[in-house]
């Protein structure tokens, strides 16, 4: 999906921009450090090439330190995958990636955002709540390694 480039410099020197294939090895390293069942490099590449997907990375100098994949289906946005390098968490980079993606999707016609999050992932749930997402449901046994329910969250945005 073609989108306007998102270039936004933060005071800490973190720059946000479109993901490209050269980012995938570092994105994969963050993915492996962040999830017990990480996406493979092939899955990450397929998502990058998916015509309904937008993707953004956060960079500090030449290092990739965070990323997000989101999809737009008609007027519904879905956060598919978001993570920040463990050494760079707690600096607001995750929320900036999410807010930036929602902003992009709204310009493309998004009216409602959706996501699923592990019920045990209280850090992410708190972040989403602070960003205005509300819990609308639960998918029992949605996750493996370890078994966990998914909490479904949504946010009106258009």
Question: Which residues belong to the active site?
Answer: 116, 128
The residues that touch ligand COA, with contacts defined as CB under 6 A, are 34, 82-84, 89-95, 117, 121, 123-124, 127
Distance CA 150, CA 114 (A): 12
Distance CA 74, CA 44 (A): 22
**Which residue in the shown chain puts its C-beta closest to ligand COA?**
90
In whole angstroms, how far apart are CA 135 and each of 77, 110, 118, 152? Answer: 16, 19, 12, 6
CB of 151 to ligand COA, least distance (A): 9
Query: Would you state the torsion angle of the CA atoms of residues 76, 77, 79, 84, taken in this order, to the nearest 10 degrees?
Result: -170
Q: Which is nearer to ligand COA, 45 or 88 (CB)?
A: 88
Q: Which is nearer to ligand COA, 36 or 109 (CB)?
A: 36
Tokens of 104: 């992009």
Q: Which is nearer to ligand COA, 109 or 137 (CB)?
A: 137
CB of 122 to ligand COA, least distance (A): 8
CB of 119 to ligand COA, least distance (A): 11
């Amino acid at each position: 999906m073609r989108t306007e480039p998102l270039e936004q410099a933060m005071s800490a020197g973190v720059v946000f921009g479109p993901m490209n294939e050269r980012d995938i090895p570092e994105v994969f390293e963050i993915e492996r450090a962040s999830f017990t069942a990480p996406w493979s490099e092939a899955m990450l590449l397929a998502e990058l090439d998916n015509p309904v997907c937008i993707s953004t990375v956060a960079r500090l100098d030449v290092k990739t330190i965070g990323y997000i994949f989101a999809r737009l289906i008609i007027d519904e946005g879905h956060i598919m995958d978001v993570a920040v390098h463990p050494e760079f968490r707690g600096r607001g980079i995750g929320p900036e990636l999410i807010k930036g993606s929602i902003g992009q999707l709204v310009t493309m016609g998004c009216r409602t955002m959706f996501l699923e999050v592990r019920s045990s992932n209280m850090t992410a749930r708190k972040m989403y709540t602070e960003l205005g997402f509300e819990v609308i449901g639960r998918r029992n046994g949605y996750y493996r390694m370890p078994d966990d329910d998914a909490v479904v969250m949504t946010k009106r945005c258009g």
